[in-house]
A = this chain, B = another copy of it.
Amino acid sequence: MTASKEPESITLQDVAKAAGVSRTTASNAFNRPDQLSAELRERILAIAHQMGYSGPNPMARMLRTGRAGAIGLVFADSLPYAFSDPTSIAFLQGVSRVCERAKASLLIVPTYDSEAAQETIQQAAVDGFILYCLDENSPAINRVLDRKLPVVIVDLAARNGIASVKVDDRQAARQAAEHLIQLNHRQFAILSLELLPDQYIGAVTPQRIQQATFQNTLDRLFGYQDALSAAGIDFSQIPIEECPGNSEELALERALHLLQQMPRPTAILAMSDRLAIGALHAAEQLGIAVPDELSVIGFDDIPLASQIRPTLTTIQQPLVEKGAIAAQLLLETNPPTTSKLLPTQLIVRESTGIAPAR
């Protein structure tokens, strides 16, 4: 038998030849139905299919058109973590909703270590990036900025000329603390998210706060401080426990520790709902009644917050919308440059109540 042709890579050229038309016409058959007769188009498509041609090569087309048809999403975190944290999942929901409408694909770029970030961000064939990042020092930030594509940053301090989406964490945290102050609480403790990317667990010192690179965490901390100081409470005396990875288990453990101090706090300010839920479990373990003996307030308003018992008082931030707006900014404004500050809202549920009499 005579050697059959290479089965590899049939090109538009081959299809055109087989159909007896020019490359352009073949190309138009795929991309510009209006540029040729319907019947010719059908014939070309049929021949292409029959030859096993799978359509114009996306890479060649991208090079030619300069458009990738995808936006990149950079989480400056490990991906499995991002896919397990309710806040980032809600964010993804919002992003994906807008992408779907725009028929844009979503490229999730791993940046596990700075070396990986270097490579993967550089090689991402996208039309723009959403940078979802909490650590101001993350190397991924500059990698993304270096690409000189449209960028929207989320939850990061605004930068010159770069579109950003965030909420006023400080004001929101202040509101959370004020809620408890109004309920007569004076003995506070704080469950904090990470301040630095070093996986440190435990008591937070003033030095640590000074070195902090997670602006979000810092803002919430300052928000608590604003309210407490205004109420005449000495912030430096308030125990703060850091729980990296937004871990419920860790929060449970640190809350147990906090609740065994004397005098026992009557209110816990948790920087996320997961941390708050950890605190709720700790209270349960110790037989401390919520909200009668202990009030707990969270942050985020994740779906679970309204499902657990007691339901969780928290600060609602529009998680899904944050993703949707970021994607919209990226896809619909050119170049994206406006920054959005999204509203938050205190949601009072069952986990907070009047402070117990002393």
Q: Which residues of A contact B (CB under 8 A)?
A: 52, 54-63, 66, 68-70, 72, 78-80, 82-84, 89, 92-94, 96-97, 99-100, 103-110, 112, 116, 119-120, 122-125, 146-148, 309
Q: Which residue of B lies closest to A74 (CB)?
A: B105
Q: Contacts A59-B68, A84-B93, A147-B54 hold; do A110 and B105 have CB atoms under 8 A apart?
A: yes
C-alpha gap A58/B62 in the complex (Å): 10
Q: Contacts of A72 on B, CB cut-off 8 Å?
A: 105
Residues of B within 8 A of A125 (CB): 58-59, 62, 68, 70, 125
Cα A100 to Cα B122 with chains together (Å):
15
Assembly CA distance A217 to B189 (angstroms): 49
Q: Which of B69, B78, B120, B146 contacts A123 (CB 8 A)?
A: B69
Given the complex, which residues of B lie within 8 Å of A56, measured CB to CB? 122
Would A96 and B122 count as touching, CB distance under 8 A? no
- Chain B residues with Cβ below 8 Å from A60 are 63
22 A-B pairs (CB sep. < 8 Å): A54-B147, A55-B122, A60-B63, A62-B63, A62-B125, A68-B125, A70-B124, A72-B105, A83-B89, A83-B92, A84-B93, A96-B108, A99-B110, A103-B110, A103-B116, A105-B107, A105-B108, A105-B109, A105-B110, A105-B120, A106-B107, A125-B125
Q: How far is the CA of A71 from the CA of B218 in the complex (A)?
A: 37
**Which residues of B are found within 8 Å of A63, using beta-carbon distances?**
57, 59-60, 62-63
Q: Which residues of B contact A58 (CB under 8 A)?
A: 122-125
A148:B52 contact, CB within 8 angstroms: yes
Within the assembled complex, what's the spacing in Å between the Cα atoms of A56 and B125? 11
Bound-complex Cα distance A97 to B82 (A): 11
Q: How far is the CA of A256 from the CA of B279 in the complex (A)?
A: 34
| B-chain residues with CB within 8 Å of residue A122 when the two chains form the complex | 54-56, 58
**Which residues of B are found within 8 Å of A78, using beta-carbon distances?**
100
- Once the chains bind, are A103 and B124 in contact (CB under 8 Å)? no
Please determine whether B123 and A61 come into contact, CB atoms closer than 8 angstroms. yes
Smallest CB separation, A218 vs chain B (Å): 28
Considering only CB atoms, which chain B residue lies closest to A99 in the complex? B110
- Set of chain B residues within 8 Å of A59, measured between Cβ atoms: 59, 62-63, 66, 68, 125
Contacts of A119 in B (CB 8 A): 103
Q: Give CA–CA (A94, B80) in the complex, Å.
A: 7
A94 to B148, CA, bound (A): 31
A94 CB contacts on chain B under 8 angstroms: 80
Contact of A120 with B62 in the complex, beta carbons under 8 Å: no
Given A59-B68, A79-B100, A80-B93, 9 new contacts (CB under 8 A) = A54-B146, A57-B63, A79-B93, A79-B96, A100-B112, A103-B110, A105-B107, A106-B110, A309-B309
